[in-house]
Structure 1
Amino acid sequence: LIRLPLAALLGAALALRPRRKGTPPRSAQVVQTQIILSVVAAVIMLVVGSSLARAFGIVGAANLIRYRSKIEDPKDAVVMLSALSVGLATGVGLYALAVASTAFLVLALGIIESFEPKTGKSFTLKVKVGEHTDELRPKIEAILTRHNLKHEIRTSSDEEVCYDVNVPFEMQTDNVTNALLKLDPEGHATVDWSDKKKKEK
């Protein structure tokens, strides 16, 4: 079972290799995928051994994942491949390998994902508070800051201000909306949240 940690170590050495000056930073998702893929490849080779039939079975199943699954994060595709390799190991009776590789992959994914920056959902926020909305920008931004929302001004006019806002996945925007609506005592304010990803599609 030393093969799995060794595969992870060698994969990490390749994924975390020094970057040349002037080159763009590597995507965290790609780095994680390269490390886990090394482990998955080791598990698959242990399952396949010298069996040609098993090799063809894995290729067919991997193609099914590739062309039938809509996956945006490359790491998710590798986790699916991991599940495939563990299932194959169990199916051919390599129970110790299946259990050990599952435990190692869970540990490796836990360590790798602990370094991921916290992300959230991207929204376009439009706020209208009467004819002098632009004058209320400091108060609007104070509310966003108080709720720990990362924001960036997009457009600003007398009648409307628009922001790009990053909202944590577990957070509801109701409290923020209510706070923004209270900026207009007459009750004419409007607050609109639109999902940027859906808008781009």
Structure 2
Amino acid sequence: MTPALLGVVLETDLPALAQEALQWGAIPDLMRQLARLGAAAVSLPLATALGAMLAFRPRREGTPPRTPAVIQTQILLAVVGAIVMLVVGQSLARAFGIVGAASLIRYRAKVEDPKDAGVMLTTLGIGLASGVGLYLLATFATLFVLGVLWWVESLEPRATKRFRLRVVTKDPAALKPRLRPLLRRHGAEYELRSVGADELCFDVALPLDQRTDAVSTAILALAPDGGTEVEWEEKKK
């Protein structure tokens, strides 16, 4: 086939193919997607800001402190609600579809972090947006939620393991002022619980990547003459 003839064929067939693709819904309406994307650019940041205002509201005196996981989940649920409503729009059928899809979620294992449940609902909304052809909305929502998760997870306190540290020594009074800076150097948070005639007992929170044997070796080095014992007992949650 000559180039001239190929050009004639393409010029003749491509408009028909494009028209057929649009007729059968193979190419989503770009203007509709751009409209949803513009709405998402406003509603998702607004939902995040309003959710954060509620999550970080001043705590009344005497009320228990809020856990970071609950604060993060409250912010994330505001974003999830905005994503779901952007997907639903004015479609009653989509609303029933989302309810049906959400009812399929079953937690057979306990979800320790409620934020993970919020992420599951977010992925459901993003999947539904992709399924109905709102590809730009699904992509933007994914990137936006990644940013929100990075922000809220940066507010989490450092993960630690809690132990009861018992140090048996000949002279607890002499060891105590030297032991405290040692624990701080290893990133430990501690509280002295008791002082005996030959022992010190601490409640200690160690970073997850800090090994107890390294701390024990450093403690034993404080009394090179011997007579010191170190015992760690991990606390149950």
Which category describes the TM-score, using the shorter chain as reference length?
0.7 to 0.9
- What is the CA–CA distance in structure 2 between the aligned matches of 1:103 and 1:80, rounded to whole Å? 15
1:193 alignment partner, SS class: strand
| Residues 76-110 of structure 1 deviation map (CA, whole Å, 9 limit, x = unaligned) | 22123222332333344432222111111111122
| Residues 146-179 of structure 1 deviation map (CA, whole Å, 9 limit, x = unaligned) | 3332211122212322211121223233332111
Offset, 1:135: 4.2
Distance 1:146 1:14, change over 3 A: closer
- The residue number in structure 1 matching 2:198 is 159
Distance 1:91 1:177, change over 3 A: farther
- The residue number in structure 2 matching 1:190 is 229
Offset, 1:188: 4.7
Q: Aligned partner of 1:106: which letter?
A: L
The answer to whether the aligner puts 1:72 opposite 2:72 as a matched pair is: no
Tell me the C-alpha RMSD between the 2 structures. 2.4
> Paired residues, what number?
193
Kept after mapping to 2: 8 A contact 1:134/1:157: no
- What is the CA–CA distance in structure 1 between the aligned matches of 2:155 and 2:65, rounded to whole Å? 16
Q: Aligned partner of 1:6: which letter?
A: L
- What is the CA–CA distance in structure 1 between the aligned matches of 2:207 and 2:195, rounded to whole Å? 24
TM norm structure 2? 0.70
- The residue number in structure 2 matching 1:94 is 134
TM norm structure 1? 0.81
Q: 2:122 aligns with which of 74, 82, 102?
A: 82
Q: Aligned partner of 2:213: which letter?
A: D
- Identity among equivalent positions (%) equals 46
- The residue number in structure 2 matching 1:108 is 148
1:68 alignment partner, SS class: coil
Q: 1:50 aligns with which of 92, 109, 116?
A: 92
Q: 2:71 aligns with which of 5, 22, 31?
A: 31
> Highest Rg: 1 or 2?
2
- What is the CA–CA distance in structure 1 between the aligned matches of 2:51 and 2:183, rounded to whole Å? 41
Offset, 1:125: 1.3
Offset, 1:123: 1.7
Unaligned runs of 5+ in 2: 1-39
Offset, 1:186: 4.9
